Each structure stands twice: as structure tokens, then as C-alpha cells.
């Protein structure tokens, strides 16, 4: 249970600038996910928090206590920070049994033998692997090894639990099981969790907060709901969501408190713009600059398909339909514009069938054509 603050963190490997002026606060008890494509700096951030990497500049505090100070070349040893880390590779010591792996840190801290035995037992029971205590890691399945790694990291009740892509080596079914297990663990232990992943579904399902990274820069920190509904820039919008978001080039003009958007899906008028503006610098600047070329972003589930003509709907043709059990993804072509729409349930469409598309315009996000910055956010 701890608050982590990173201020102006910069990290270089040789001449590669890996973390660029990182500012991030993880509140006490949060489940914060660091999300981004590979090479974006999320794992490095985690390793800085753990103390395995020292930042060249910037300050890290844990519960107000200085843990790293780049300018003063200070880096508190990992073991003094009250953190523990679950590695992507699990990093189980192959020459020790499960119980020895879990007990190692306690023994190093000179915990009395009897206490070690109780703590190890309860950690293994919590992860439901008590019966494997005497086995070696190589005798366990991937999922069981994962549980051992987690048991090892929680046995000493760390204030902060760090997880580095812990589920990436598991098969799809096991991954879903472990997700709920970890979420439950967070609730039961009340520990502050920092979780690294490149899997946006994992991030959306588990976190209380998501921090999205691109190219060493922190782009957006928000709740999963906001990250999904109001991506702060075009890269975030593109990265989050499966199936991925539709981007349409458009012309946007300010008209009083409304914005008029002309795109391949026809004209849309969005009212009460000032109420939607949450006042971020980018949005304010963007709103002022409104007028001309822009990109509108629309999630597939916000496009409804009708088999009958509707007022305000745009006529289109079915390009291809992909039923997938609980949902159906449909590629539609309206003139030169192709969009992906998602409907719930199994829907039958024939190729080239005529349909009418209607858009929930309040869900639209508008991005600057030049730099992809958000200029008009949706009602999340």
C-alpha cells in the first residue's frame, strides 16, 4: 500500500533515449497498468520503480521517501523499497524447489524458520499450488510456474507488487483465468500494483488506471473507461480496442457552439462543443484551430447497420461480413470510404447487400490531421 511518484525521469541506454521526461503518480492501492507497444519504455519504467535500473535524471519517491535521484546518482537498493517483481520469464531458480524459491527472500531477511514455513505455506495455498511445494520448476507447467512466481513475490507482503507481462507466456484460456486471479489478489492484499502489458484487453479488464506509452513518452494516464472512450491522441485510439477503431478523413468547421463534420459518411453536426471540452491544453488549442482538415475516429460498435433506409443514415454496401459467435464484424463501403461496424449476435448479410449506416455522433473523437492530437473529445 504505497504511493509512487515519478518526476521528470529520463533514462538512456548508451545513446538511446528510453524514457523521456516521465511524470507519473501511482496512487496508494491503485492497480496501474503501463501499456504500450514493445520498445515503448513500459518495462524500463517498471525496472526503475523496482530499482533494477537507475534513471539518469529525475526523482522517484515511494511514500514520500526518495528512492532514486538521477541528479545525485542515488539509487536505493531494490530490497529496501518494499517492492517485489514478477518477471516475464518468471525467473524461478531452477536449482531450488518451489518451497525453496518462495522461502529464499525470507531466509535472506533472517526470518525465523517456523515463521518462514507458515508464510510459505499460506502463500502457496493462496495460489493453490501447495501440493507442488517439493517439486522443481522444470517439473511444473507454465501456469503452475506462474503461480509460483506470484507466490514468491507476495510471500513477504510487499507494499508494491510489480508485474512485468506476467501472462504473455500462457495460452489464451489460462490467461483469462490468471487475469481474474490477479485482480482478486489485488483486492485481497490491498497492495499497490503496477502491471506492464502490451495487451490492451488485459489493461482494460484489470486496471483501475492505465498509463499509455509511446516511444518513451507517457501519452495518457486515465481510467480504462476514459482511455477507451477518449483516447488522448490518434496513436492511443489506434492502439486501444479490438477490433480497431475506424479513422476517417474529414473537413470540420466550427459553427457557433457546434461543429460541422463532412466525411465519407456524410455530414454530421455535433452540438454543445464547449460542454464536451474537458479543458486539456491540446483540446483548447485544437478547438481554436478547428476549421479544415481533421481525422474522425469512431469505434465499430458505434456504427449501427440497418437493412431499411433511415433518415440521417448513409447508404452503403456490405463488403464482407464476419460472424464470430457473440458478435458480427461487418466491412461496409460507402462510396470510397470503408468502415468496420460491429453488431451484437450472429447477423447474416450477403455480399454487396445495400444497407444504411447510422453513427452515434456523440461518440466521435476528432484528431488533428497533422499531429494526431485530440481536438474534440467524445462524451465518454
Partner 1 sequence: MSPAKPARRGLWLERIKNVTLSTLSNPYHVISIVSIVVLLYLIIVPLGEIVSTTLHWQPKDIRVSPSAIPGAFTLYHWINMFTGSVARAMLWEPLLNSMLVALCVSALSLLLGGLMAWVVTRTDIPARKFLSFMILVPYMLPSWYKALAWITVFKNDRIGGYPGFLQAIFGINPPDWLSYGFLPIVLTLSVHYYAFAYLLISSALSSIGGDLEEMGEIAGASRFQILRRITFPLVLPAVLSSFILTFSRAIGTFGVPAFLGLKTNYYTISTMLYSSVRSRRTVQAYILSIVLIAIAVFTVWINQRMIGKRKSYTTIGGKGTRSNLVRLGKARTPIFVMILIFMIVAVLFPVGILVFQTFMLKDGIYSLSNLTLHYWIGASNPQIFEGEAGIFRNPAIWTSLLNTLKLVLLASLIATFLGLILGYVISRGRKRASGRLIEQLSFMPYLIPSIAFGAIYLSMFSQRRLFIPALYGTLALLVLISVVKYLPFSTRAGTSSMMQIGSELEEAAMIEGASFSKRFSRIVMPLAGKGFMSGFILIFISAMKELDLIVLLMTPSTSTLAAMTYSYAESGFHQFSDAVITLIVIIIMAVYLLAAKLGKVDMSKGLGG
Q: What does the alpha-carbon distance between residue 349 and residue 351 come to, in Å, rounded to a whole number?
A: 7
Q: Closer to partner 1 at the Cβ: 89 or 346?
A: 89
- Please count the other Cβ atoms lying within 10 Å of the Cβ belonging to residue 320: 12
State the nearest-atom distance from the C-beta of 6 to partner 1, in Å. 15
Least distance in Å: CB of 207 to partner 1?
Answer: 23
Q: 35 or 50, CB closer to partner 1?
A: 50
Instruction: Give me the least distance between CB of 145 and partner 1, in Å please.
Output: 13
**Of 81-89, 190-198, 299-307, 354-362: span binding partner 1 (CB under 8 A):** 81-89
Q: How far is the CB of 52 from partner 1 (least distance, A)?
A: 5
Asked if 174 is part of the footprint of partner 1 (rule: CB under 8 A), the reply reads: no
By the rule CB under 8 A, 139 interacts with partner 1: no
Burial per residue of 37-72, b for 16 or more beta-carbon CB atoms within 10 angstroms, e otherwise: eeebbbbbbbbbbbbebbbeebbbbbbeeebbbbee
In this chain, which of 43, 44, 84, 145 binds partner 1, going by CB under 8 A? 84
Single out the residue of 26, 34, 46, 50 in contact with partner 1 (rule: CB under 8 A). 50
Told to check if 66 binds partner 1 by CB under 8 A, we report: no
**Which member of 41, 70, 231, 300 binds partner 1 (CB under 8 A)?**
70
- x-marked contacts with partner 1 along 202-241 as a string, rule CB under 8 A: ----------------------------------------
Query: What is the smallest separation between the CB atom of 58 and partner 1, expressed in angstroms?
Result: 8
Q: Which stretch binds partner 1 (CB under 8 A): 30-38, 66-74, 195-203, 370-378?
A: 66-74
Q: Half-sphere exposure (CA, 13 Å, Cβ side) for 127?
A: 29
Minimal distance in Å, beta carbon 247 to partner 1? 37
Give yes or no for residue 25 binding partner 1 (CB under 8 A). no
Cβ proximity to partner 1: between 7 and 254 the closer is: 7
Q: How near is the Cβ of 15 to partner 1 at its closest, in Å?
A: 7
Among 27, 37, 74, 125, binds partner 1 (CB under 8 A): 74
82 interacts with partner 1 by CB under 8 A: no
State the nearest-atom distance from the C-beta of 357 to partner 1, in Å.
Answer: 50
User: Mask of contacts with partner 1, 85-114, x by CB under 8 A?
Assistant: x-x-x-x-xxx--------xx--xx-----
The residue ranges that bind partner 1 (CB under 8 A) are: 10, 12-15, 50-52, 56-57, 70-75, 77-80, 83-85, 87, 89, 91, 93-95, 104-105, 108-109, 152, 156
Amino acid at each position: 500500500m504505497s504511493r509512487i511518484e515519478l518526476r521528470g525521469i529520463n533514462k538512456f541506454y548508451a545513446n538511446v533515449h528510453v524514457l523521456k521526461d516521465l511524470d507519473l503518480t501511482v496512487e496508494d492501492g491503485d492497480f496501474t497498468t503501463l501499456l504500450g507497444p514493445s520498445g515503448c519504455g513500459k518495462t524500463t519504467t517498471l525496472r526503475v520503480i523496482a530499482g533494477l535500473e537507475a534513471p539518469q535524471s529525475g526523482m522517484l519517491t515511494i511514500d514520500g521517501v526518495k528512492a532514486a535521484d538521477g541528479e545525485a546518482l542515488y539509487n536505493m537498493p531494490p530490497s529496501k523499497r518494499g517492492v517485489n517483481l514478477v518477471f516475464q520469464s518468471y525467473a524461478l531458480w531452477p536449482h531450488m524447489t518451489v518451497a525453496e524459491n518462495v522461502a529464499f527472500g525470507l531466509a535472506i531477511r533472517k526470518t525465523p524458520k517456523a515463521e518462514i514455513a507458515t508464510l510459505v505455506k499460506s502463500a502457496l495455498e493462496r495460489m493453490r499450488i501447495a501440493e507442488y511445494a517439493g517439486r522443481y520448476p522444470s517439473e511444473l507447467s507454465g501456469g503452475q510456474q506462474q503461480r509460483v512466481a506470484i507466490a514468491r513475490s507476495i510471500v513477504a507482503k510487499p507494499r508494491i507488487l510489480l508485474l512485468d507481462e506476467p501472462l504473455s507466456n500462457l495460452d489464451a484460456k489460462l490467461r483469462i483465468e490468471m487475469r481474474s486471479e490477479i485482480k482478486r489478489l489485488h483486492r485481497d492484499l490491498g497492495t499497490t500494483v503496477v502491471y506492464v502489458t502490451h495487451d490492451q484487453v488485459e489493461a482494460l479488464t484489470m486496471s483501475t488506471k492505465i498509463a499509455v506509452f509511446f516511444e518513451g513518452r507517457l501519452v495518457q494516464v486515465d481510467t480504462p473507461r476514459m482511455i477507451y472512450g477518449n483516447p488522448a491522441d490518434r496513436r492511443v485510439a489506434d492502439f486501444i480496442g479490438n477490433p480497431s477503431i475506424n479513422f476517417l478523413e474529414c473537413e470540420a468547421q466550427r459553427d457557433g457552439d457546434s461543429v460541422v463534420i463532412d466525411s465519407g459518411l456524410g455530414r454530421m453536426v455535433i452540438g454543445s462543443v464547449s460542454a464536451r471540452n474537458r479543458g486539456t491544453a491540446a483540446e483548447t488549442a485544437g478547438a481554436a484551430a478547428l476549421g479544415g482538415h481533421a481525422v474522425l475516429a469512431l469505434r465499430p460498435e458505434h456504427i449501427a447497420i440497418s437493412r431499411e433506409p433511415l433518415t440521417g443514415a448513409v447508404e452503403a454496401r456490405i463488403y464482407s461480413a464476419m460472424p464470430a459467435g457473440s458478435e458480427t464484424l461487418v466491412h461496409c463501403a460507402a462510396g470510397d470510404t470503408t468502415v468496420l461496424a460491429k453488431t451484437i449476435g450472429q447477423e447474416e448479410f450477403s455480399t454487396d447487400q445495400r444497407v444504411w449506416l447510422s453513427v452515434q455522433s456523440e461518440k466521435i473523437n476528432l484528431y488533428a490531421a497533422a499531429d494526431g492530437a485530440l481536438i474534440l473529445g467524445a462524451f465518454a
